[in-house]
Amino acid sequence: MSKAEITAICNQKGGTAKTTTAVNLGVGLADEGKKVLIVDMDPQASATICLGFPRPDFLEKTVADMMDKVILDEPIASKEGILHHDEGVDLMPSNISLSGMEVSLVNAMSRESVLRQYLDTVKRDYDHILIDCSPSLGMLTVNALAAADNVIVPVQAQYLSAKGLEQLLGTVNKVKKQINPKLKIEGILLTMVDSRTNNSREIANLIRETYGGKLKVYETDIPRSIRAAEMSVEGQSIYKHDPNGKVAEAYRNLTKEVIASAEKRRKHQLSQLR
């Protein structure tokens, strides 16, 4: 049985292509034969909408219900609440009820590990679980980081976005020290890169120079594109919406980088066991 590698896609700043990355990396991994679950941990439910459920508030079961069950110590049935998308990925959806969970968690026992306890019930069914985090550093994001093996940080190639990176790295380090010692930053992903503008190129170079020595910055940049923004309306990935476009090509390359990285880690773990 496989045991999923859990990746949080995280940045407290909105508009950095977190959801676009979660959906397209997820579908990219599924195209490569991997079993993938995308967990929508944002009350705005962007990943849920992107994957073809445009009215999330009418869904019967969401991630908030599963976390509630963990808090109340109620059993969770196999595949309960999990939806399937025709491009080969599974989805644990979200809706506005997740914003109430932020409040419930404050008084919950082991409040940082509620999501992890839920994912423990499903992770044997998947190779990869991708968590689309909310754009904040509140309890929902802390739960995602506490559950994750690694973090992908999408960063827009803009000055303010790059500046917010320090704050996020600080939070990741705090969670690693206090709650989840195995947490690693898998990589920084430059998104919405407009190679025609000097500013975008300069920020991309600056991030590579500043962090490249300590952290992996993916070789793949995700270009700015109107097509990627349209994708959420269609309820399908960029591979279906614009299969020959530059964004689809970029996410295919990113998928290869992520698989190569996971393979390297797996080999390292096996060698440690010998």
Q: In sequence order, what DSSP letters do the residues of 238-264 get, joined into one string?
A: HHHHSTTSHHHHHHHHHHHHHHHHHHH
Question: What per-residue confidence (pLDDT) applies to 2?
Answer: 53
Amino acid letter at 123? K
Give the chain's residues under pLDDT 70: 1-2, 159-162, 232
Hey, what domains does the chain have and what are their CATH numbers? 5-273 (3.40.50.300)
Question: Residue 68 and residue 184: Cα distance in Å, rounded?
Answer: 28
Question: Residue 125 and residue 35: Cα distance in Å, rounded?
Answer: 8
Q: What is the DSSP letter of 58?
A: G
Question: What per-residue confidence (pLDDT) applies to 210?
Answer: 86
Contact of 89 with 51, CB cutoff 8 Å: yes
Question: What per-residue confidence (pLDDT) applies to 1?
Answer: 43
pLDDT 10s digits, 117-163: 999 999 999 999 999 999 988 999 999 999 999 999 999 877 666 67
pTM metric for this prediction:
0.95
E strand or H helix that includes residue 3: none
Question: Residue 223 and residue 191: Cα distance in Å, rounded?
Answer: 6
Question: What per-residue confidence (pLDDT) applies to 103?
Answer: 87
Contact of 214 with 187, CB cutoff 8 Å: no
Question: What per-residue confidence (pLDDT) applies to 204?
Answer: 84
Question: What per-residue confidence (pLDDT) applies to 205?
Answer: 87
Question: Residue 61 and residue 63: Cα distance in Å, rounded?
Answer: 7
Annotate 100-124 with DSSP letters as a single string.
Answer: HHHHHHHTSTTGGGHHHHHHHTTGG
